[in-house]
Amino acid sequence: MSDIIAYKKDGVIIDTQSYDASRDAGASEILYDNSKDALEVIRHSCAHLMAEAITALYPGAKFFVGPAIEDGFYYDFRVTKENGEKLGENDLETIEKKMKELVDAKLDITKTCSTKAEVLAKFKNDDLKQEVLKRIPEGEVSIYSQGNFEDICRGPHVPNTKFLRFFKLTRVAGAYLGGDENREMLTRIYGTAYADKASLLEHIRIIEEAKKRDHRKLGNEMKLFTFDDEIGAGLPIWLPNGARMRSKIEKILFGVHRRRGYEPVRGPEILKADAWKISGHYTNYKENMYFTNIDEQEYGIKPMNCVGHIKVYQSELRSYRDLPLKFFEYGVVHRHEKSGVMHGLFRVREFTQDDAHIFCMPSQIKENVLEILSFVDNIMKNFGFEYEMEISTRPDKAIGDENVWEVATNALKEALDENGFKYGIDEGGGAFYGPKIDIKITDALKRKWQCGTVQVDFNLPERFELGYIDENNEKQRPVMLHRAILGSFERFIGILIEHTAGELPFFIAPTQVVVVPISESHEKYAKEIQTKLRNLEIDSEIYSKNESLNKRIRTAEKARVPMILVIGDSEVENKTVALRDRRARTQSQLGLDEFLDLTQQKLKEVNF
């Protein structure tokens, strides 16, 4: 039988040090395995194990916080090595070795409780502990100890370090104290842990595979996008290859939107601050926005497209016969992201949403939510993604009456329940103006990514006094549905690159065909092929540099081009092509018309 490492009662995990059989009667056991609850305890304990190892190796180290996170743990701390250098990736192996020694020592992990005042006095010379204590309310404060290490912590922890055998430190990063970019940069080490070796090795394999698939690395190799410090952090520059791929996705989605009854609109990228005050962004989202002054009037650069779409709605009188009204826009937005969290295309300061807003009657909420989910399903299947849904409810920082929130949240739940959709609940995770359904996709490495969203909003229509005339010639308030499927083109493309390892499907590949003429005498036919492909809206390039044939073919393969045509005397004479199909891993000889038909079949393999 597996060891008991903790208990759970009323949704709260209680470690063995805190468990009281009489007080906690009815609590369920948490066994030493890879269940979600067990991993939370194991990983949080492993963070303390790492901190103890760092303390042993670098006695002057001071520690801030070390929580368990979704796929592992981290600790933020301050440390300087004897030579004055900061810790780096090369130091992880040394820290791991010391951690293994502490595991073998089978150290008990103990909990003691004191008043906050006593703990403040105990750690009066440790400024980072003082920072932690500022975040703890008055009352009892617990400290966990093992060997020569102790830290302020509410737990839970495993009872002994012997349960922490299967871990791996994954990377070193910087982290601002308390997430405040105006404060000190601490060192952060990430790691993960499991209850068995096989699961750990599989996780390490996925990490290594993820490094190979890193969209920043592949984006550079495939010449899709770049960043430039002279331009600014978090502002992607799309190169011709990336812009071609992106425009293909935009074109496909534009057509699908039109067929589903959406009307294209476009709002300005900068609006008077007064509009953002009405919407609530000024109060609830200001820290994420950029502002400027024009003619002594404050303006805000839009972080979202909703206000512009509201103004489109207000441009004329609306009747119930007009509803639902569906407006969509590839809207460029700007959000202030802290420098420490930006990451390739995943977190940027400028991005483009595949945004839409549906204005409808309350009685039309369900049918429109279901239409959106049908749209989501169609898009995700065509891109090869599995996905799941989660309803996010009212956050602490929100606008609008709680009863209105409850009505909106129930409308989402009913739409999903009545159609048998499975979903989770993210309590407090809604937007400040309404509850939402979050679409989370799963990639080839089984990682989950937040992309699309569907939000029900009664609040903005109220704030902007939107209306429509009902069948009784009376003014009524519409409901506003906010909707994005990809989320943003930038983030979705980054995910797609990693999902496919750069082997993008033919219909959106930036260069779909490379033509390689063996010699200069074959270039005329190569250009003829390129012209025919262009007329069919197939992107191609001719590789005619003064390099060996094999090198040019290798260059095309490195660029992950789906189809490579080699053109020599026989092909010119017979109007054929020697095709290397990278995806199918085949080589064949085809007539030119036959090949052109094949490209059209490839485009039709997906049906949006």
| CA–CA–CA angle 171, 448, 426 (5° rounding) | 110
CB 21 within 8 A of CB 181: no
Query: 495-531 burial, b for 16+ CB within 10 Å, e for fewer?
Result: bbbbbbebebbbbbbbbbbbbbbbeeebeebbeebbe
| Cα 458 to Cα 304: distance, rounded to the nearest angstrom | 17
Tell me the backbone φ, ψ of residue 409, rounded to 5 degrees: -65, -45
Is 44 part of the annotated catalytic residue set?
Answer: no
Q: Looking up tokens 């094999």, which residue turns up? A: 550
Query: Residue type at 486?
Result: L
Q: Of residues 306, 309, 364, 580, which has the active-site annotation? A: 306
Is 587 part of the annotated catalytic residue set?
Answer: no
Is 17 part of the annotated catalytic residue set?
Answer: no
Is 355 part of the annotated catalytic residue set?
Answer: yes
DSSP 165-192: -EEEEEEEEEEEGGG-TTSPEEEEEEEE
Q: Of residues 335, 394, 483, 582, which has the active-site annotation? A: 335
CA-based nearest residue to 482, from 390, 359, 374: 359
Q: Of residues 17, 146, 353, 455, which has the active-site annotation? A: 353
Q: What is the DSSP pairing of strand 436-442 with strand 448-457?
A: antiparallel
Is 347 part of the annotated catalytic residue set?
Answer: no
Is 353 part of the annotated catalytic residue set?
Answer: yes
Is 357 part of the annotated catalytic residue set?
Answer: yes
Q: Of residues 213, 281, 436, 491, which has the active-site annotation? A: 436
CB 183 within 8 A of CB 174: no
Query: 370-403 burial, b for 16+ CB within 10 Å, e for fewer?
Result: ebbbebbeebbebbebebebbbbbbbeebbbeee
Burial label, 120 (beta-carbon count in 10 A; 0-12, 13-18, 19+): middle
Element containing residue 243 per DSSP (H, E): helix 240-259
Q: Of residues 246, 357, 491, 580, which has the active-site annotation? A: 357
Q: Of residues 355, 443, 457, 539, which has the active-site annotation? A: 355
| Cα 454 to Cα 266: distance, rounded to the nearest angstrom | 20
Q: Could you list the active site residues? A: 306, 335, 353, 355, 357, 436, 482
